[in-house]
């Protein structure tokens, strides 16, 4: 009994410290400490993730050897890339027109600035190493180095931000097919995304590029999201859908922030 009391006594100061931390958090007084630690941990995780990835690479290559045709995969990738490039070109042209229009307005400023950031994905979510300090706000859109959609900011901390990715179950996004009038809703299913609510009469084929439509006011229009990989549904149904393969890649991203 004495031993047990002694153990509880030893735990008491640490429990009190943890409770103090909870209280400081509730009063938003732990911001500076949190900001510094979060940012440092982000960098350490990024570094260890790269080391881990490099260590595992030979194993992954060995596993892949003989299981699939590398050439076929490469060709498929190129086809998808071409489709994405075509759509991106159209988006760049539209953006070009918008910038030209701004240039002729005296004192006109681009409405968005881009902040380069590092991306970190784990089993508990996705983070970027930029936060309130850099002007990131909730709802800001994040794209990869090629301008393909990565997600949007769900929660902003002092020096990091948490993202909502298109594949997360809570994610809903108004989309359309590039170059077509086909519209639908892209819904997250945990690890995959599905295009839903496309009317039977609308065109929908494997390989079509999915871009944001802007109709939901959450995402600006014409940002590439992914490529249709398989059309789903029966011909007798009112609507059809499709499995969509997301095309964002890499750990270097850009956050689009509305300028003041």
Partner 1 sequence: MKVWGPLLIWSLVIILEERWLPQVLILSGLTAAAWVYPPRWVYPMALWAGLVVDLTWGRSAGVSSLLLILGVLGVQLIKSQFNQWWVMLITAWTLSLGWQWWFSGQFDWGLWLLTGGLTYVWWGWFKAVTGSRGGVYLKGHNVVG
Binding site for partner 1 (CB under 8 A): 2-4, 6-8, 10-11, 14-15, 17-26, 30, 34, 37-38, 41-42, 44-45, 48-49, 52, 122-125, 127, 155, 157, 160-162
Token couple for 115: 């902040």
What is the C-alpha separation between 53 and 65, in angstroms, rounded? Answer: 18
How many angstroms separate the first and last alpha carbons of the chain? Answer: 64
Compute the least distance from the CB of residue 46 to partner 1, in Å: 10
Q: Which is nearer to partner 1, 21 or 82 (CB)?
A: 21
Q: Which is nearer to partner 1, 73 or 137 (CB)?
A: 137
Compute the least distance from the CB of residue 101 to partner 1, in Å: 38
Conformational region of residue 93, where left means phi above 0, alpha means psi within -120 to 50, and beta covers everything else: alpha
Compute the least distance from the CB of residue 84 to partner 1, in Å: 28
Q: Which is nearer to partner 1, 15 or 102 (CB)?
A: 15
Give kind and range of the element (H or E) at residue 82: helix 70-103
- Tally Cβ neighbours within 10 Å of residue 91: 18
Compute the least distance from the CB of residue 60 to partner 1, in Å: 14
What is the C-alpha separation between 56 and 123, in angstroms, rounded? Answer: 18
Q: Which is nearer to partner 1, 35 or 135 (CB)?
A: 35
Compute the least distance from the CB of residue 158 to partner 1, in Å: 10
What is the C-alpha separation between 16 and 230, in angstroms, rounded? Answer: 55
Q: Which is nearer to partner 1, 28 or 72 (CB)?
A: 28
Total residue length of the chain: 260
Cα distances (angstroms) measured from residue 123 to each of 190, 191, 238:
11, 11, 37
Compute the least distance from the CB of residue 127 to partner 1, in Å: 7
Q: Which is nearer to partner 1, 2 or 217 (CB)?
A: 2
- SS3 label, residue 7: helix
Strands 224-232 and 209-212 come out as antiparallel
Token couple for 146: 């090629």
């Amino acid at each position: 009994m004495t031993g047990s009391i002694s153990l509880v006594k030893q735990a008491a100061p640490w429990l009190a410290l943890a409770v103090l931390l909870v209280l400081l958090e509730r009063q938003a007084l732990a911001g500076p400490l949190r900001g510094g630690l979060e940012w440092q941990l982000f960098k350490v995780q990024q570094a260890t993730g790269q080391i881990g990835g490099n260590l595992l690479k030979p194993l992954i290559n060995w596993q892949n050897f003989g299981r699939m045709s590398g050439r076929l995969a490469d060709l498929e990738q190129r086809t998808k890339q071409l489709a994405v490039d075509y759509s991106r070109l159209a988006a760049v042209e539209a953006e070009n027109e918008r910038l030209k229009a701004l240039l002729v307005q005296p004192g006109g400023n681009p409405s968005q600035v881009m902040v380069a950031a590092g991306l970190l994905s784990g089993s508990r979510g996705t983070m970027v190493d930029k936060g309130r300090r850099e002007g990131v706000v909730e709802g800001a859109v994040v794209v990869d180095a090629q301008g393909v959609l990565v997600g949007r900011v769900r929660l902003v901390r002092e020096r990091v931000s948490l993202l909502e990715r298109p594949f997360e179950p809570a994610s809903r996004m108004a989309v359309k097919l590039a170059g077509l009038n086909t519209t639908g809703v892209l819904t997250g299913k945990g690890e995959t995304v599905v295009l839903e609510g496309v009317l039977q009469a609308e065109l929908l084929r494997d390989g079509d590029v999915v871009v944001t439509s802007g109709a939901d006011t959450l995402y600006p229009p014409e940002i590439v999201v992914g490529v249709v990989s398989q059309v789903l549904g029966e011909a007798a149904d009112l609507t059809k859908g499709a499995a969509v393969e997301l095309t964002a890649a890499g750990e270097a991203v850009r956050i689009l922030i509305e300028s003041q």
